[in-house]
Amino acid sequence: PNLVQEYLGRCLRDLQLSYVDLYLIHHPVGFEPCEEAVPVDAEGNVRLDLTTDHVAMWKAMEEQVDAGRAKAIGISNFTIPQADRILKNARIPPAVNQVEFHLYFQEKELQAWSKKSGVHLTAYSSLGSPGMVATLKSQGKIDKNKEFNPVTDPVVARIAKAHNKTPAQVLLRHILQLGAVVIPKSTNPERMKENLQVFDFELTNAEMSELNALDRGEQGRIFHLPSIIKGYDKHPENPYPKL
């Protein structure tokens, strides 16, 4: 908690800003403070901070709002019990919970909790992160035989053709109609424009039902961090189930 202000201050200096619109706790699992994104020991295990206290950290996040350094604060990759614990102890509730969310991994229980609690869901990897999937497959960190690319799904292609839209636009529209926010990543200006063109059509109830039925539950998850970051699952707040 005592490092929240320091790290936000670094972000503000790097961005040359006096405040950010939204500041998130990226993971419920704490790492030892360091300059690297993921600190590791000589054996390649992540160096964990096993004293992670979500409520204390949230109090420090609230102080950033009080000071005007953040307009809103939120969480990322938190489970329902973890998010609920913060919500029950919060003076300023989390604005969002940013999680992996796409056609094959629809987080249906978390969807329901979010609508009830008012903590909005933000979907990362909303198009299935095909580039990252290819990298992780090449590193042997996810199953090479598993198909994770919803952009190539035949049901999505058929619905896209019916609306004269791209598969990516259908995938984004599906998540929007489920009530979540989407933040698709692209470095291509044309695709960025395309990703914004999702407000001039609506999927029918039948199409939504078809797409909802393609959820694979836990089998559809791409980013199972204990499989990607060695030793991650040793933390008591590890949010990922065993495979």
**Distance, CA of 96 to CA of 72 (rounded, Å):** 9
Q: Which residues are within 8 A (CB) of 50 and not within 5 positions of it... i.e. 6 or more apart?
A: 30, 235, 236
What integer pLDDT is reported at residue 136 of this predicted model?
86
Q: Does the pTM exceed 0.85? A: yes
> How many other CB atoms are there within 10 angstroms of residue 236's CB atom?
10
DSSP states of 90-101 as a string?
A: -SS--SEEEEE-
Does residue 226 lie in a domain region? yes
Does residue 46 lie in a domain region? yes
Average pLDDT, the chain: 95
Task: Identify the domain containing residue 224 by its residue range.
Answer: 4-234
What integer pLDDT is reported at residue 148 of this predicted model?
82
What integer pLDDT is reported at residue 137 of this predicted model?
87
Does residue 243 lie in a domain region? no
pLDDT at residue 139 above 90?
Answer: no
**pLDDT confidence tier of residue 7, bands split at 50, 70 and 90:** very high
- Decide if 230 contacts 47 (C-beta within 8 A): no
> What is the dihedral angle through the alpha carbons of 62, 67, 72, 78, rounded to the nearest 10 degrees?
-30
CATH number, position 53 = 3.20.20.100
Strand partners, 73: 23
Q: Is 54 annotated as a binding residue?
A: yes
Closest CA to 174 of 153, 196, 203: 203
Q: How many domains does one find in the chain?
A: 1
Does residue 181 lie in a domain region? yes
Render pLDDT for 23-51 as a digit per residue (tens, 0 to 9). Answer: 999 999 999 988 888 999 999 999 999 99
**pLDDT confidence tier of residue 146, bands split at 50, 70 and 90:** confident
pLDDT at residue 221 above 80?
Answer: yes
